[in-house]
Amino acid sequence: MCGIVGVVSNKNVNEKLFNGLSNLEYRGYDSVGMCFINGGKFSIKKGVGKLEEVHKKVNFLKLNGNIGLGHCRWSTHGGVTEKNAHPHVDCKNKISVVHNGIIENYSELKDELTKKGHKFYSQTDTEVIAHLIEENLEGNKVEEALRAALKKVEGSYALGILFADEPGKLFAARNESPLIIGLGKNENFIASDVPSILSYTNKIVYLEDKEIAVLTNDGFDVFDLNGKEKRKKVHTIHWSKESSQKSGYKHFMLKEIYEQPRAIADTLNERIVNNSIIFEKEFALSDDFLKKIKRIVIVACGTSWHAALVGEFMFEELAKIPTEVEYASEFRYRHALLDKNTLVIAISQSGETADTIAALKEAKKYGVKTLSICNVIGSSITRISHDIIYTRAGPEIGVASTKAFTTQLAVLYLLTILLSKIRKTLNEKQIKDMIEGIRKIPLQLQSVLDEDDEILECAELYYNKLNSLYLGRGINFPIALEGALKLKEVSYIHAEGYPAAEMKHGPIALIDKNMPVVVIAPHDIYTYKKVLGNIEEVKARGGIIIAIATVGDKEVKKRAKHVIYIPKNLYTLSSILAIVPLQLLAYHIADKLGRDVDRPRSLAKSVTVE
């Protein structure tokens, strides 16, 4: 992995290919490369580092051609070297390949090909594909050789392939790794995701597993591995070009933090009707089924896993449904106990997270109903789920998730209202209060953003601290986890999130005058007084207390060194309000340290391999 873009046109594509790669940078990568066909030969340039750094050395825009491939690599097989950067070629320099995914049987294939005389230049699994196609090309047409080669490949792949002797054709294939086709005027594209080509087209075709596409500048065909032609639907993406640009903000992350009031409003739009929750046609779970649910299992990774923990609290507390939250990477290898009265929910911003896709497929083997909560229309997870709820956050370019997280929380909240109403676990007044509460959130989030100067002040005071502790209770324990994750991701400062009461079982030993401790302490009827006690324990050990508290809370102010206030709302909505100051705190600390906020080291936006 990490990103692919390809173009075939009736004119020079170098700028479009370069811009497409630039739009893929948010996915995270360590090296980059491009390939064009000119006069029946490949022109290839590649190197280690960011796109602009490598461009200064090799000048990608000197490459010319009406067809080309680009790739940004996040290393899996082989070190971060120029030799291992994509594209890779065969022995005769006639086949050029870029690849996302992992070829699980590459070692056996490499041994077999080496015995047949093939010479390998890199340490990657990708290069095997170029040689495997070459081996099958003898006596066969290009399409036949490609199909024969891919039938021998085990594992995941998204492939862009050029043949020097086919200068007007761009080939693509996928299996368990995302790849799309974009349709333009006198030009067509392949790409890992929509934002990379959104400046040129919003007409998208989604490739399915074990499909091969052949693109020319004026059309495309798709086949399965047996050569059977597949009819494909063209989807229109309604994201604007501007939504994938910074629009005057210093970083995408900051822009996306500030977009959250709008993102929440869009997520709620037309879904609340006369005190009822109505989702779109993609959500077709019947009231009868929802009444009979005896258990919910949520699978997710990273930030989405933290959203799932908030969902668990709401489903159990309000809808009275036993709920379990599983790391998708663990669930997929367990023998889960699922039955027809279990609903499995998958949460993913991109809809392409490999472990979450695998977990969802595993769940479906048991015949259970599956529901995905996702931000990207037409993504892999949405295509394999029985039902879907979209979050409507718009493109999220920054690697550290912000608006996708809060819109996931909003969807889980709406789903809780729906379940509670159908199952009659809440009365009409309680339902009405919940709906009124969520309707306030967009404006309340704006008021939190208006406190950014105070958050910046905290960042400037403590950006040089080496460790931080985040504490929360109840529905805000997952917010402590998410706040700590944000700081780790973008600033590279060690931070841990804990339930506040668990501080006594180890972390308290770390607290001293150099330790910032962020405590999420909204006023509630559940644990508020206990959290005040936890703050006192931190204070007694000299910890630097930064508290998130409800407007007007004087008790927290007496105890904390810094207080960032959030508006008063229902306790179940405090998590959406409390995370925004923590996102801003992480952002400002990272920016103060000079980090690459939108592209943190070693991280990828969409983790499409195990």
SS (H, E, C) 470-533: EEECHHHHHHHHHHHHHHHHHHCCEEEEEEHHHHHHCHHHHCCCCCEEEEEECCCCCCHHHHHH
- What's the confidence (pLDDT) of residue 275? 86
**Residue 400 backbone dihedrals phi, psi, to 5 degrees:** -75, 120
All structural domains of the chain with their residue ranges: 2-237, 248-448, 451-601
Q: What is the DSSP letter of 83?
A: T
Q: What is the DSSP letter of 450?
A: T
- Residue-level pLDDT at 362: 93
Report the distance separating Cα 493 and Cα 15, nearest Å.
Answer: 37
Q: How far is CA 317 from CA 167, 275, 480, 524, 528, in A?
A: 61, 20, 19, 14, 17
Catalytic residue among 110, 403, 488, 605: 605
Is there a shared CATH topology between the 248-448 domain and the 451-601 domain?
A: yes
Confidence at residue 203, expressed as pLDDT on a 0 to 100 scale? 94
Of the residues 2, 35, 72, 301, only one is catalytic, namely: 2
What are the pLDDT digits (tens) for 450-496? 989 999 999 999 999 999 999 999 999 999 999 999 999 999 999 99
Mean pLDDT of the chain: 93
DSSP-based three-state secondary structure for 377: coil
**Does residue 26 have a pLDDT over 80?**
no
- Residue 296 and residue 373 in contact, taking contact as beta carbons nearer than 8 Å: no
Residue 69 reports pLDDT greater than 60: yes
Q: How far apart are CA 275 and CA 431, in angstroms?
A: 7
Whether residue 146 contacts residue 95, with contact meaning beta carbons closer than 8 Å, is answered with no
The dihedral region occupied by 431, where left means phi > 0, alpha psi between -120 and 50, and beta the remainder, is alpha
For residue 588, pLDDT beyond 60: yes
Query: Model-level pTM?
Result: 0.86
For residue 159, the surrounding DSSP H or E stretch is strand 157-163
Over range 248-258, report the average pLDDT.
Answer: 95
* 608 has pLDDT over 60: no
Would you state the pLDDT for residue 274?
87
pLDDT of residue 606: 64
Q: Convert 265-278 into a string of H (helix), E (strand) and C (coil).
A: HHHHCCCEECCEEC
Q: Is 544 helix (H, G, I), strand (E, B) or coil?
A: strand
Mean pLDDT for 245-268 is 94
Report pLDDT for 24.
82
Enter the tokens of residue 6.
């390809």
pLDDT in tens, 186-208: 999 999 988 889 889 999 999 99
Residue 51 · residue 25 · CB < 8 Å: yes
Q: Which residue has the tokens 């960042």?
A: 459
Q: What is the CA radius of gyration of the chain?
A: 25
CB 387 within 8 A of CB 284: yes
Whether the per-residue pLDDT at 143 is higher than 70: the answer is: yes
Q: What pLDDT digit, counting tens, does each position of 443-459 carry?
A: 999 999 998 999 999 99
Q: Rounded distance, CA 120 to CA 115, Å?
A: 12
What share of the chain has pLDDT > 70, as a percent? 98
* Residue 54 DSSP label: H
Residue 139 burial by Cβ neighbours in a 10 Å radius (0-12, 13-18, 19+): exposed
Band (pLDDT 50/70/90 cuts) for residue 609 is: low
- Report the CATH fold assignment for 451-601: Rossmann fold (3.40.50)
248-448 is classed CATH 3.40.50.10490: yes
The two tokens of residue 333 are: 């290898």
For residue 597, give the nearest of 302, 253, 195, 246 by alpha carbon: 253
**110 in active site:** no
Mean pLDDT score, 412-423: 98
Mapped onto helix, strand or coil, the DSSP state of residue 71 is strand
- The CATH number assigned to the domain with range 2-237 reads 3.60.20.10
| Per-residue pLDDT tens over the stretch 551-561 | 999 999 999 99
In this prediction, residues 384-388 reach a mean pLDDT of 95
What percent helix, strand, coil does the chain show, rounded to 5? Answer: 40, 25, 35
* 84 and 78 Cβ atoms separated by less than 8 Å: yes
Strand partners, 343: 296, 369
Residue-wise over 8-38: b if at least 16 C-beta within 10 A, else e? bbeebbbebbbbbbbbbbbbbbbbbbbbbbe
| The pLDDT value given to residue 234 | 93
Is position 530 annotated as part of the catalytic site?
no
Place 1 in a pLDDT band, splitting at 50, 70 and 90.
Answer: low
Predicted confidence at residue 193, as pLDDT, reads: 86
Say what the pLDDT of residue 175 is. Answer: 93
How far apart are the C-alpha atoms of 131 and 106, rounded to whole Å?
Answer: 11
pLDDT value of position 407: 98
The CA–CA distances, whole Å, from 399 to 25, 254, 261 equal 10, 12, 20
Distance separating alpha carbons of residues 487 and 489, to the nearest angstrom: 6
d(CA 553, CA 104): 56
Give 163-196 as a 3 state SS string.
ECCCCCCEEEEEECCCCEEEECCCEEEEECCCHH
Q: What is the model's pLDDT at position 25?
A: 78
